A and B are shown apart, each in its own frame.
Chain A
């Protein structure tokens, strides 16, 4: 049984560009949460998707948006990239309020 998978592993973009990150949840999980982890910091909650809708949102601007598909996989989109968006983006899946399992993350570098 595969755990949470994320793609791509690494990504380099320039300021102003847009990026899409992908997450496949662990089998049997229906909820996906996204976190941003800056170097040397703990993960910060971006938003959570359940039943294809955004259920909760952290303190992130509208440039950060997401989507959940009928198969529970999810995408994180970031528009108008800033240098400060460089971070490790983590996806976590769960059965709604149960324990969250994290993927390995996507390392985004904005130049």
Chain B
């Protein structure tokens, strides 16, 4: 399928490394945040979310960190695998409103 990754920041890692993808969000009123993974030719796939009353949340091999002071979100992927290669988007939203505002995305390339 067509690439969604043209002109995106790119993070290249080796298989087995830990990856950290960063995102600056725009609205200080946003109170929930989501990370999505988008593979070429597919729609975004939910990875993990976090509410503004938390600063860290862990999933399977993934951790999201939220720093509301500087409006920064990060996604940590442990033991990165070639199947993790994709474009990663952060999205922000407001409780009571389902609208999601997406960031520009980061392409993660994992070499075997």
Contact = CB atoms under 8 A, between A and B. Distances in A.
Given A40-B6, A42-B105, A48 B89 contact: no
Contacts of A44: 102
B100 A41 contact: no
Given A99-B46, A104-B42, A45 B101 contact: yes
Nearest to A39: B6
A39 B8 CA distance: 10
Interface residues of A, number: 30
Contacts of A43: 44, 89, 100, 102
- Most B CB atoms within 10 A — which of A40, A42, A94, A97? A42
Interface in B86-100: 89, 91, 95-100
- Most A CB atoms within 10 A — which of B3, B34, B44, B91? B44
Interface of A: 4, 31, 33, 35, 37, 39-45, 48, 55-56, 58, 88, 90, 92, 94, 96-97, 99-105, 107
